Amino acid sequence: MTLFGINFAIGIATGIILEFEFGTNWSNYSWFVGDIFGVPLAVEGILAFFLESTFVAVMFFGWNKVSKKFHLISTWLVAIGANLSALWILVANAWMQHPVGMIFNPDTARNEMVSFWAVLFNQVAVDKFLHTISSGFLLASMFVLGISAWYLMRKREEQMAKRSILIAGIFGLLSSLMVAYTGDQSARTVSKVQPVKFASMEALYDGKSNAGLLAFGLLKDTDKKIGDKKVREFAFKIQIPNLLSVLTGGDKDSYVQGLQDHIMGNEKLGLLSTAEKIKNGKFARDVLTSYKSARLINDTAQISSIKRTFKEKEFNDKYFRYFGYASIDKPEDVIPDVTASFYSFHLMVILGFLFIMIFSVALYLLFKGTISDNKWFLWIALLSIPLPYIASELGWILTELGRQPWIIQDMMTVSKAVSQISTGSVITTFILFAVLFTGLLISEVSIMVRQIKTGPKH
């Protein structure tokens, strides 16, 4: 509980600062979609954060002040509140990846929510929540397993350590299997709603049928280019034939879209080229500009006509859905960092299978009664504590770098979302926060190590 409390405090310190940054560093973004993005964050603050922050006090300081049942309920409410916090934050992030449930208001030049339930049950949000929460459970299980292994190596608290390993092993194995399942579901969703990201994480430049699923590979530079961006090819690769087509389309003959399909277009698939999307996006922007001009001179006929245009399904489907492309200079600019996307995805997958093996071996040795004698495994368990943290960060690298240049998919680029503040101010605050957070990290780790060495109170 003490170790949880340390992490809880650091989470609050970093999380509050992050939310303030939406106003300081991302004010254009907040203006454009604040009516939608602000709702899940507000619910998180009012409902989830207050729930966990209220009952965490009872959980920590109420041992001898409240009944055992009320203390247990308080502990559960802290856990539920923490998971609800994650839900609403992930709903907000998922909306940026796949914007749904909104309509554009030309009078305010803002997007407004028309369906709260569409935002909440966005398929990306469902996948992201289940995958992130299960990976958090996995991380906690690995942490408990590693610390318990350290106690066994020191021949301390052996009964507690073995019981902890039993719980961590079962919980960790189930969580790691859930992570694998939800990760697969998430990848399928990404292939539909963010196909450029999907092609990047598979380093797939040319679309194909009978596409094989890459287990791993090494990328190398080539002389080929898409515009001014270099094409990466494989120095070597290990793949399972046809499986990528089966997983994405349900059939080995299913066509998996490549980066070239999205840049150059594909008539057979009904895919517009990026150049056409830029053209349509600029048309939507010009219509909005005309509307603003009409309002300035109070041309009521023009105002009514353009307002009707913004409500037309054909206009929204053909033009306004590509509004963000008006800010794209060159078609190849929509290609994210393929190298970072590919390696972050595949290293995360490899670590996921490693976690399944570690928890399975832990349970096998525990039930066999030889876990204390297998020092090699205890060392593996201890040294594996950082790995779930690394896997989680790799997942977020893929999530965020894989959708560049977009802050809101197809609607707003990162360059248009930033506040109009000086570079010097951003650099200064970045350095200050880097120093502050590094200090907090050092403090957190040192306090945790000291508490682990002290051990539980008897």
Distance CA 430, CA 427 (A): 5
Q: Look-up: residue for tokens 């570690």?
A: 358
254 DSSP 8-state letter:
P
- pLDDT, residue 450, reads 86
CA distance 5 to 148: 18
**pLDDT per residue as tens digits for the range 362-381:** 999 999 888 888 999 999 99
Q: Is the pTM of this model over 0.85?
A: yes
Cross-strand bridge partners of residue 408? 412
Positions in the chain whose pLDDT score sits under 50: none
Q: Hey, what are 169's tokens?
A: 């092993």
Output the CA–CA distances (angstroms, integers) from residue 393 to 283, 396, 398, 402, in the order listed. Answer: 39, 5, 9, 13
Question: Do the beta carbons of residue 48 and residue 36 sit within 8 Å?
Answer: no
How many C-beta atoms surround the C-beta of residue 228 within 10 A?
8
Burial 86-116 (b: 16+ CB within 10 A, else e): bbbbbbbbbbbbbbbbbebebeeeebebeee
pLDDT at 364: 94
Return the pLDDT at 182: 94
pLDDT of 458 reads 60
Distance CA 341, CA 187 (A): 13
Of 244, 261, 129, 124, nearest to 195 by C-alpha is 261
Backbone phi, psi, residue 242, to 5°: 70, -10
H/E stretch holding 434: helix 423-454
Structure token digits, residue 100: 């749904």
Structure confidence at residue 354 (pLDDT): 95
Residue among 97, 127, 99 nearest 114 (CA)? 99
